[in-house]
Structure 1
Amino acid sequence: MQAATDPDLRSMSIRQLLGLYSRILTELIQRGVVRSRNAPAGDLAESVVAQAYRGQLAPQSEKSWDVRAADGTLLQVKCRVIEPGSRRTHVYSPFRSWSFDVCVFVILNSVTYNIEQAVEVPADQVKTAARASSWVAGHRITVGQIRAGLEGAVDLTDRLREAYVALDRLEQTQVVDLSQRAY
């Protein structure tokens, strides 16, 4: 049951909801309850990429790719939420298979959840740049590597920002289950 003082979440845009979520996470971090801000980021990035590529999200059980683009390209999506000005080494989640065509790397601002950077990198270049890690039983790429640029990388920042705006507008016109939508 909603209390009279609770915000009306259904009337809020995606960005407003994520801003509220960010403030909640900040409080939980300050209280020592959680250590990371990355929780909704992966799903959000996948939805934005699906919108940008007019694609469809992979089934939940798919291990190697996250979005099938309209042209059939299989996209792996990796996302990190980074605090503005952070100098820490941030690492994307590990690659444990290479059955995708390209990887879209997304960096989100931890305060606004705006897209700071997005790049598409061919799978063979990701595999070449990734470092094996026995600790995670996979291969890892750092945010620093993406920011410095990998061979064959294509900047998608503007394209994903536009898709994010379109997704926000689409969501505001109707309450929908985004996991079932083909973009």
Structure 2
Amino acid sequence: MIRDEFHPSDFSSHDLLRQYAGILSELRARGVIRTLNAPSGDLAETLTERAYRGALAPNSEKSWDVRAADGGLLQVKSRVIAASARSKPVQFSVFRSWDFDAAVFVVLAAETYEVLGAFEVESTVVQARARAAAWVGGEIITLSLVGLAALPDYIDVTARLQAALESLDLPMAENDLPAAQEH
């Protein structure tokens, strides 16, 4: 039962996300829902927007989610996993077009919605690794966090997205995000 004294506006965005993660876990334990993926896509796009000091694409944009400050088009894919499952492969959502410069894969912890890993990968590398999935009308990629870090020429943007998560309640201009680590 929600009590009258609970006021979401009294909490930081990150604290609300932690509470929400707990609620999802309880609903899953009760058999009410089957997955923990509910807000992950929107959150990953917002974190990417902040980390790249970019702009979100209009709703239903065909091939990209964020235009980075440098003009690059980014397709954002996210998954929520148990923090202990970093080496377990997960399937990211379908790619239906390749009109973007890079994909940003964001993996969030189911227990807290912390950013476990985030990697920028050129679209040509992703396309070469993806496999056709006729039942969804596109191509999919299945990788673990370890597998993402093994892709050629990836850029580790984990620290940038972690900083973006911590700065959700600050105006974007006040973000002081760390640089990406190229590999």
Q: TM-score range by the shorter chain?
A: 0.7 to 0.9
Maintained 8 Å contact 2:119/2:149 = no
**Residues 83-117 of structure 1 deviation map (CA, whole Å, 9 limit, x = unaligned):** 12236542110101001000000010111111110
Maintained 8 Å contact 1:105/1:146 = no
- Amino acid aligned to 2:158: T
Matches within 5 A, 1:71-86: 71-86=70-85
User: Where does residue 69 of structure 1 map in the other structure?
Assistant: 68
* Distance in 2 of aligned mates of 1:143 and 1:13: 32
**1:127 matches 2:113:** no
TM-score (norm: length of structure 1): 0.85
- Amino acid aligned to 1:90: V
Q: Secondary structure at the match of 1:75?
A: strand
Maintained 8 Å contact 1:89/1:143 = yes
139-148 or 53-62: which moved more?
139-148
- Amino acid aligned to 1:62: E
Matches within 5 A, 1:160-179: 160-170=161-171
* Distance in 1 of aligned mates of 2:50 and 2:89: 29
Matches within 5 A, 1:1-183: 3-5=3-5, 7-86=6-85, 88-144=88-144, 146-170=147-171
Q: Secondary structure at the match of 1:85?
A: helix
Shift of 1:143: 3.1
Among all aligned residue pairs of Structure 1 and Structure 2, give the percentage whose two residues are the same amino acid.
48
User: Where does residue 179 of structure 2 map in the other structure?
Assistant: none
* Distance in 2 of aligned mates of 1:146 and 1:18: 27
**Residues 131-167 of structure 1 deviation map (CA, whole Å, 9 limit, x = unaligned):** 1112222111123274452112111111111222222
* Distance in 2 of aligned mates of 1:121 and 1:54: 18
Q: Give structure 1 stretches of 5+ with no counterpart.
A: 172-183
* Distance in 2 of aligned mates of 1:83 and 1:56: 30
Shift of 1:56: 0.4
Q: Please give the root-mean-square deviation of Cα atoms over the aligned residues, in Å.
A: 1.8
1:161–1:148 Cα change, 3 Å:
closer
* Distance in 2 of aligned mates of 1:22 and 1:164: 14
* Distance in 2 of aligned mates of 1:105 and 1:88: 15
* Distance in 1 of aligned mates of 2:124 and 2:42: 24
Q: Post-superposition, which runs of at least 4 consecutive aligned residues in structure 1 deviate over 4 A? A: none
Q: Secondary structure at the match of 2:90?
A: coil
* Distance in 1 of aligned mates of 2:8 and 2:29: 24
